[in-house]
A and B are shown apart, each in its own frame.
Chain A
Amino acid sequence: MGFFLETLFGGLMVGMLYSLIAIGFVLIYKASGVFNFAQGAMVLFAALAMARFAEWLPRWLGFESLVLANLLAFVAAMAVMIAVAWLIERLVLSKLVNQEGITLLMATLGIAYFLDGLGQTLFGNDIYKIDVGMPKEPMMVLESVFEGGLLLSREDLIAALVAAALVVVLALFFQKTSTGRALRAVADDHQAAQSIGIPLNRIWVIVWSVAGFAALVAGIIWGSKLGVQFSLSLVALKALPVVILGGLTSIPGAIIGGLLIGVGEKLSEIYLGPMLGGGIEIWFAYVLALVFLLVRPQGLFGEKIIDRV
């Protein structure tokens, strides 16, 4: 029982991190109908900016405090992500208003490669560390209930809490502010939103900035776990099955999808792995996504697409 719970918690925490990236996809898809292939590149770009600023800023400004360095680097990296959002809107999206979805998808594919290259040009292409003081050693809990207790990774626990907090903040932003209301309006109907004077361009900059923020948080957490390197942009591939499972238009869907996949891949690895020769964790998410595409293509929480004939 103890072992099962350990696996379950491990899965939930990894799942939360998948959700974090998936939320980036959902935000942009909801507000502009664009499937943003560049989300992974944005994660890498944000993490690179964070890692390098944390290294450079103390040297430029002549201070040593790690906390201050991380704080300033976070602000600087966020500013960079907002600039990226603004440039993407200016140079790409505003030129492609009312184009086919496939055109926009290809454009984001271009943005992805461009960001990958630009990030490495600006910030270097080594492996960098992000050290935000995440505790590395695991902890034991519930020793009185289970024999030997449960071994939990503190790093994962903190990451999961941060992700959960981010989700709450985003939910409040969407539900409680008038800008959030405008974002939901744009997501529901572009034309109507414009007719009541909601500026599409500004909304898009905001959405891409928020997605950039989600990418930054994801980048910091993944980066401090795995190091900041090119493979970080591939983590986003794990988020694809999450959005297929949860539905492209639903933020709760992205969270639950992430948790399901995180838990599913861990449990299947442990309990089905020995029967199938192991290695399930790598492909489990994709097979699950495939099944969903066949049975319920709109995902668990996505809107059903009904076309008028």
Chain B
Amino acid sequence: MPADTIAFVLRRVGRATQNSISRLGFAARFFALVLYHSPAALRRVQLTLREVYFSGVLSLVIICVSGLFVGMVLGLQGYDSLNKYGAGDSLGIFVGLSLVRELGPVVAGLLFASRAGSAITAEIGLMKTTEQIAAMEMMAVDPLARVIAPRFWGGVLSMPLLAAMFSVMGVFGAYIVGVRLIGLDSGSFWGNMQGGIDFWPDITNGIIKSIVFGVAVSLIAVFEGYDAKPTAEGVSTATTRTVVGASLAILALDFVLTVFMFRGAAS
């Protein structure tokens, strides 16, 4: 390989690394500023409640419908596999643990990133493009306190509630398939679930995961919107980055959290 090509590749890699580190530093500083402005934003509770409505309430349809179908598929697939070993009656605990520990927080997080995260990024990016953020700054109103922090906390508060809704609908979907369609005993379905799922660590771990995912998705969404280039292409790129970045962050964080939680449960 000629020396010029090697130098070119090294330059590109070096520049990309430098840009990534610089952006990471900017994101960390941005997160610190959002936390700094959070008390002021949270004191005006109606601003955060408004964002809970836009991020949470308006995401309920996709979360509930997805949860129902995921639960129904889990019911069918789970019964098919468990029945081979004569453990069809354990469907309740299988579905419950799958949803509460893993699928609820992860799938709800992915849906939340696609539905609410992209909307938050696009809204903030368009506010920047149309100079609304600049106008706010010129009116001596800090957009971090007025626009960014309420959206961040709206997402953080919505995410665990949406994950809980997803799990509830999933369990209901599995009940319809397992009990109503296949004909499993209702008492055994609910009894196994009640006996096999503990509030600590199963449900609390699921809640912790959904809170961490909520922080990650909301931070990525507000950061990408705030950092978007003020052009149509810039907003489109930022929205894509939010969905891709938040989805990868959820999957990576899920692995890390599961490692810690499993180790905790095993010891």
Bound pair (A, B): no
Chain B residues with CB under 8 Å of chain A are none
